[in-house]
Structure 1
Amino acid sequence: MSGLPEIVDSLESKIEKLYQKLDELNKQNQKLENEISASAKVISNQSEEISMLKRQHETLKMANSLLGSDENKRETKLKINSLIREIDYCIAQLSD
């Protein structure tokens, strides 16, 4: 029976180590969650920036075509025709 206190002490020591390990893992988990959150924000910002740059690119392509560039002339003509049809439709609606 003299080994019983030693076993209890050993168990207490192991439980203490487990609590410490649990604490470390919780802190590490929180750190990783913070990193994930920060990364998600960065991704969101980059997605918005990509979207804005795409719009700017399309605008620049259109402006370039209107300035006489041979590239994208077909797209420009189609866009102008589409706008003319919309204007004609609006005029027709106003006439009624």
Structure 2
Amino acid sequence: MSNLSEIVDSLENRISKLLNRHEKLKRANLELEEEIAILKFQQNQFQKEIEVWTEKCSSLKTANSMLGSDQHKRETKLKINALIREIDQCIAQLSG
């Protein structure tokens, strides 16, 4: 009978250790989930910032080309032509 008692004690000890480890892993998992949420928020903020800077860069390129810079003239001409087409479409809709 003492052998059975030792086996039960051993199982209880192992179960206790497993439960303890399970709790530690649950806490670690919660911490990681919180960190993921924070990182996703930061990523979203950075993405918004990238969009703002991209728009500013585009505006600066357009301004440079209007000031006589040869570097971005083609892009500016294409953009102006696109704007003219949009205006023409608006006029056509208003007069139609």
* Partner Cα separation in structure 2 for residue 53 and residue 90 of structure 1: 30
Higher helix proportion (structure 1 or 2): 2
2:14 alignment partner AA: K
Query: Which residue of structure 2 aligns with residue 35 of structure 1?
Result: 35
Secondary structure of the corresponding residue to residue 70 of structure 2: coil
Q: Structure 1 length as normaliser, TM-score?
A: 0.82
Structure 1's unaligned 5+ residue stretches are: none
Listed one character per residue, the Cα deviations across residues 1-49 of structure 1 (whole Å, up to 9, x for unaligned) are: 2222222222211111111011111111111111111111111111111
- The Cα of 1:94 is off from its aligned counterpart by 4.1
1:52 alignment partner AA: V
Q: Percent identity?
A: 53
Q: Structure 2 length as normaliser, TM-score?
A: 0.82
Query: Which residue of structure 1 aligns with residue 62 of structure 2?
Result: 62
Map 1:63-82 to 2 at 5 A: 63-82=63-82
Secondary structure of the corresponding residue to residue 68 of structure 1: coil
* Partner Cα separation in structure 2 for residue 65 and residue 86 of structure 1: 21
Structure 2's unaligned 5+ residue stretches are: none
How many correspondences in the alignment?
Answer: 96
Closer/same/farther in 2, CA of residues 9 and 70 from structure 1, 3 Å limit = same
Higher mean displacement: 76-85 or 52-61: 76-85
* Partner Cα separation in structure 2 for residue 77 and residue 89 of structure 1: 18
The answer to whether the aligner puts 1:6 opposite 2:6 as a matched pair is yes
Map 1:44-55 to 2 at 5 A: 44-55=44-55
Query: Which residue of structure 2 aligns with residue 85 of structure 1?
Result: 85
Closer/same/farther in 2, CA of residues 89 and 15 from structure 1, 3 Å limit = closer
